[in-house]
């Protein structure tokens, strides 16, 4: 586990979702999900021991053509634990977090919502402190779950005194956006259905708070004011 905050957030997920019963069967399209995959997912093992390989085909189609919010809530703590450990690399993180939106997680009980949001923020803070993940991609993933990215963008601004956060920003500025007629666009295709959140990011990149935060870092400053 990357750090104590993320470890605590994962533990919080298990606590918040502890009362969700394990499903005994799943509804699914048999063109999208196989009976053998259902058996692997529902195998008689503790949730904490369920493998990423068993979860992957389920997560790829959950809510869309496999299962629903109730079974997703049961598996979610283990899924997000594996993401935190860097042991879940398909489907893409943007798709994984997007499933939360499809499941309408913001209508779930308050304790579950709070645990998810604590996890998202802990994952984001861990990302800003290290270079193992691409912050632009993680932000896009979070933007596929969260409607308001202000707390995440503010955290990035506040972390600009650290080399890792600055490196993440430089990558976003030079490889994560593209000039187009009238301005810029974010190149990650998973922003396509999240226009308002992408606009938040672009406004932040052009805003005075970020400009002030990178003052003195010439390479970053040059990119920000382009």
DSSP conformation letters of 29-57? -TTTS-HHHHHHHT-SS-GGG--HHHHHH
Backbone angles phi, psi at 34, to 5 degrees: -105, 155
pLDDT tops 70 at residue 2: no
Name the strand (E) or helix (H) holding 116. helix 110-129
Q: What is the pLDDT of residues 34-53, one digit of tens each?
A: 999 999 999 999 999 999 99
pTM above 0.75, yes or no: yes
pLDDT tops 70 at residue 110: yes
- Quick one: pLDDT at residue 218? 86
Domain parsing of the chain, residue ranges: 1-112, 130-226
Residue 102 CA to its chain's centroid (Å): 14
How many percent of the chain have pLDDT more than 70? 99
CB-side neighbour CA atoms (13 Å) of 149: 26
Q: What is the pLDDT of residues 134-167, one digit of tens each?
A: 999 999 999 999 999 999 999 999 999 999 999 9
User: How confident is the model over 172-176, as a mean pLDDT?
Assistant: 96
């Amino acid at each position: 586990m990357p750090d104590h905050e993320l470890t605590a957030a994962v533990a919080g997920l298990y606590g918040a979702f502890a009362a969700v019963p394990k499903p005994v069967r799943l509804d699914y399209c048999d063109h999208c999900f196989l009976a053998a995959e259902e058996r692997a997912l529902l195998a008689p093992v503790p949730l904490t021991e369920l493998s990423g390989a068993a979860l992957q085909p389920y997560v790829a189609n959950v809510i869309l053509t496999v299962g629903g919010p109730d079974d997703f809530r049961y598996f979610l703590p283990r899924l997000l634990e594996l993401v935190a450990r860097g042991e879940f690399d398909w489907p893409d993180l943007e798709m994984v977090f997007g499933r939360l939106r499809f499941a309408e997680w913001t209508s779930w009980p308050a304790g579950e919502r709070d645990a998810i949001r604590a996890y998202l923020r802990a994952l984001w803070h861990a990302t800003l402190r290290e270079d193992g993940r691409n912050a632009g991609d993680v932000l896009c993933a979070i933007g596929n779950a969260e409607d308001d990215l202000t707390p995440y963008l503010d955290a990035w601004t506040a972390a600009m005194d650290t080399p890792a956060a600055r490196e993440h920003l430089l990558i976003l500025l030079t490889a994560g956006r593209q000039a187009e007629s009238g301005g810029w666009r974010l190149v990650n295709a998973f922003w396509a259905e999240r226009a308002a959140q992408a606009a938040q990011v672009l406004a932040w990149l052009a805003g005075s708070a970020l400009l002030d935060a990178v003052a003195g870092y010439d390479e970053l400053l040059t990119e920000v004011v382009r």
